[in-house]
Amino acid sequence: MDISVVIPTYNRYKVLQRALASVYAQTYKPKEVIIIDDGSTDKTPQITKDFPNITYIYQKNAGVSSARNMGIKYVKYEWIAFLDSDDEWHKDKLKEQLNLHKKSNELLMSYTDEKWIRDAKEVKVAKKYAKVSQDIFASSLSHCIIAPSAALMHKSIFESIGFFDESLEVCEDYDLWLRVAIKHKIGLVDKKLITKYGGANDQLSMKFWGMDRFRVVALEKLLRESNQEEVTSTLYDKKEMIKSELLKKYTLLLKGAVKHDKIQDIKIYEKKISELV
């Protein structure tokens, strides 16, 4: 398996060095490493001096989805591994995923478990983020259980389901994994093979409130797309799962709108609930 690594970044020169060091420390080496600099104004362009073998591409600031999509279009090899610039891989990350795909060559995507660090201390990962293997669709509906830095994907997936949705400011990974999971099995290496560092002010999860608003957009889009597909018993069951999850999220968002006396939002979610039930 020849692997390309895609790393989007924005004003993270220091932690990008850490991320890249973890890539080059892999026991199974990738064939290429692509940095997509999404309009950084810090020392990020200097990274080419620190790591001269990388492919460095600069674009005007357009968001993480645009940066990842740009990287996907530039890769030379069939397998793509993503790494967020504030995360790092453990040394056997790619090797362990390679072994999984050799055993299950029908899999077009895999991911790993993860370790979380907050304020320089490891924290317990909440049970709702527990990892599952193969048919992960049902477990992925309420929230995102796959970290982008844990994902390894065959390039053909993007040709069949499309790219990251650049219209979503957050939850773009949740959206893509659901579009994969509704059609494909996703393998799991049940080992903590990446480290995620949380709590930084520039992380998108810290920037936006009410993440379910964005998950709802992704679910509504998935339901529309599913309605255009030939209905099988499996697809029918998954569409019913989407509707059930949407109803839960609409109900929660309606309660929030009522609590904060947001009249327009109340009307929107009452209408969505009535159309769904």
Domains and CATH numbers, the chain: 3-207 (3.90.550.10), 212-276 (no CATH)
Q: What is the pLDDT of residue 135?
A: 85
Q: What is the pTM of this model?
A: 0.93
Distance from C-alpha of 229 to C-alpha of 183, rounded to nearest angstrom: 11
Q: What is the pLDDT of residue 206?
A: 46
Distance from C-alpha of 146 to C-alpha of 223, rounded to nearest angstrom: 21
Q: What is the pLDDT of residue 226?
A: 94
Token readout for 149 is 């830095």
Q: What is the pLDDT of residue 195?
A: 98
pLDDT tens by residue, the chain, 277 residues:
999 999 999 999 999 999 999 999 999 999 999 999 999 999 999 999 999 999 999 999 999 999 999 999 999 999 999 999 999 999 999 999 999 999 999 999 999 999 999 999 999 988 889 999 878 999 999 999 999 999 999 999 999 999 999 999 999 999 999 999 999 999 999 999 999 998 655 555 545 557 999 999 999 999 999 999 888 999 999 999 999 999 999 999 999 999 999 999 999 999 999 999 8
Which pairing describes strands 109-118 and 55-59: parallel, antiparallel, or unpaired?
unpaired
